Amino acid sequence: MSTRPGLRLTLFLLLAPAVLWLGLLIVLPHVEILILSFSERVAPRIYVFGFGNYLEFFTEPLYWRTFARTAIMSILVTALTLVLAFPIALYIARVAQGRLKAMLLLLCLLPFWVSELVRTLGWMMLLRETGVVSHGLQAIGLTGERIEFLYNDGAVILGLVYGGLLFMIVPLANALESLEPAVVEAGFDLGGSRWIVLRRIVVPHAMPGIVAGSIIVFMLTVGNFATPVLLGGKNGLWFTEQIYAQFITRFNWPQGAAFGMLLLLLSSAIVWAGLRLTGQSLGTTLKQA
């Protein structure tokens, strides 16, 4: 009996970092933001409870259009990342052996040793009017004048796909690695073409990895700020910019809080829909990631 208080104390101490982390850094701010989002300013420094901030979102087309654009572009980026990452992951998981496999994973990881901001600036140096690509095209005579590749949707998508690739490759490669080689051979042996084996055996097996990677990339993309701002410029129009503008430029914290909550709802809803659509459960998906 005498050990029980000691045991409790140990348990408490062990749990404390996790509880503090979740409570102080995640739950508390979100509760604060939720409360803030329902307060309307009626006079300087006087706030009352109301839905005005949310109504503002639906009545001002710029807000909900940016919101919808962010959602659609993020889905597009996730899909593109998946299509690009799949063959890479397939190669890493099924073809590469030993040192080569480790090397390839390291190569995917390498860009993440520098900050996102620096990586994005790197893209800017390549794509801007006086940048490497523009100069290169002039040098080989494909164009007579400078070309601006920055500040359009293509540049934004490029940057976001680049940033998401690693987070798609790792869960995909994990999922593909567990596929028994004999199962693939059996698929061919029974008369399946490459396409049939891919569609009916490899992809269904990799589904938990596909969903896990897609969720991660989608979340990162929707919540990204630097890449759309730097590569998209004025045309970036990412919803995080609206949140930033409300909090920092307009100093309208309640409005920014409402946008923040809406973004959280959006990403949760799309993740939920994705899970339902593919018939995966969050549990198995998280294991894969």
Partner 1 sequence: MAQSTDLDLINLVKRFGSHAAVNDVSFSVAPGEFFSILGPSGCGKTTLMRMIAGFEDPTSGDIRIRGRSMIGVPANKRPVNMVFQSLALFPMMSVGENVAYGLTCRGISRAEAEERANRMLERVGLKGFGERRVTALSGGQRQRVAIARCLVLEPTLVLLDEPLGALDLKLREHMKIELKQLQATFNTTFAYITHDQSEALVMSDRVAVMNQGRFEQVGSPRELYHHPATPFVASFVGETNRWQGEASAASGGTISVRLPSGAVIQGQGKVADRAMLAFVRPEAIALAQDPSALGGLPNRFEGRVSAVLFDGANSSLLIDTAGFEEPVRAVLPQAGPLAGIQVGAPVHVGWTADAMKVFAA
Q: Is 182 in the site for partner 1 (CB under 8 A)?
A: yes
Q: Which one among 32, 60, 148, 185 touches partner 1, defined by CB under 8 A?
A: 185
Q: Which is nearer to partner 1, 41 or 205 (CB)?
A: 205
Whole-number Å distance between alpha carbons of 131 and 150? 10
Q: Token pair 């009017």 is at which residue?
A: 129
- Interface residue with partner 1 among 50, 122, 192, 233 (CB under 8 A) is 192
Kindly tell me which residue out of 22, 95, 186, 265 binds partner 1, with binding defined by CB under 8 A: 186
- Choose, by CB under 8 A, the member of 200, 251, 269, 282 that binds partner 1: 200
Count of residues of this chain found to bind partner 1 when the rule CB under 8 A is applied: 17
Alpha helix segments (H runs only) across the chain:
3-20, 28-37, 52-59, 61-90, 98-109, 116-127, 132-139, 153-177, 181-189, 194-197, 203-222, 226-232, 239-244, 253-278, 282-288
Query: Does residue 196 interact with partner 1 by CB under 8 A?
Result: yes
Question: Taking CB under 8 A as the rule, does residue 178 contact partner 1?
Answer: no
Beta carbon of residue 101, minimum distance to partner 1 (angstroms, whole number):
21
Q: Which one of residues 191, 234, 277, 279 is an interface residue with partner 1 (CB under 8 A)?
A: 191
Which one of residues 22, 107, 110, 183 is an interface residue with partner 1 (CB under 8 A)?
A: 183
Choose the stretch contacting partner 1; rule: CB under 8 A; options: 67-75, 189-197, 224-232, 272-280.
189-197
Cβ neighbours, 10 Å, residue 197: 18
Cβ-in-10-Å burial (0-12, 13-18, 19+) of 140 comes to exposed
Q: How far apart are CA 275 and CA 289, in angstroms?
A: 14
x/- map, 138-177, partner 1, by CB under 8 A: ----------------------------------------
Bridge-based pairing of strands 39-43 and 46-49 is antiparallel
Q: What are phi and psi of 97, to 5 degrees?
A: -130, 145
Q: Tell the smallest beta-carbon distance from residue 192 to partner 1 (Å).
A: 5
Q: Please report, as a single letter, which amino acid is at residue 2.
A: S
Q: What contacts 109, CB < 8 A, 6 or more positions away?
A: 166
CB of 38 to partner 1, least distance (A): 47
Residue 26 carries which side chain, given as an amino acid letter? I
Nearer to partner 1, 154 or 204 (CB): 204
If one asks whether residue 284 binds partner 1 (CB under 8 A), the answer comes out as no
Local structure of residue 27 (DSSP, 8 states): I
Q: Residue 203 Cβ, how far from partner 1 at the closest point, in Å? A: 9
- For 75-111, b where at least 16 C-beta lie within 10 A, e where not — what string? bebbebbbebbbebbbbbbbebeeeebeebbeebeee
188 binds partner 1 (CB under 8 A): yes
Q: Determine phi and psi for 287, rounding to 5 degrees.
A: -60, -40
- Nearest approach, Cβ of 103 to partner 1 (angstroms)? 24
Residues 44, 180, 276, 279: which binds partner 1 (CB under 8 A)?
180
Site residues for partner 1, window 201-220 (CB under 8 A)? 201, 204-205
Contact (Cβ atoms closer than 8 angstroms) between residue 259 and residue 252: no
- Name the site residues for partner 1 (rule: CB under 8 A): 180, 182-183, 185-193, 196, 200-201, 204-205
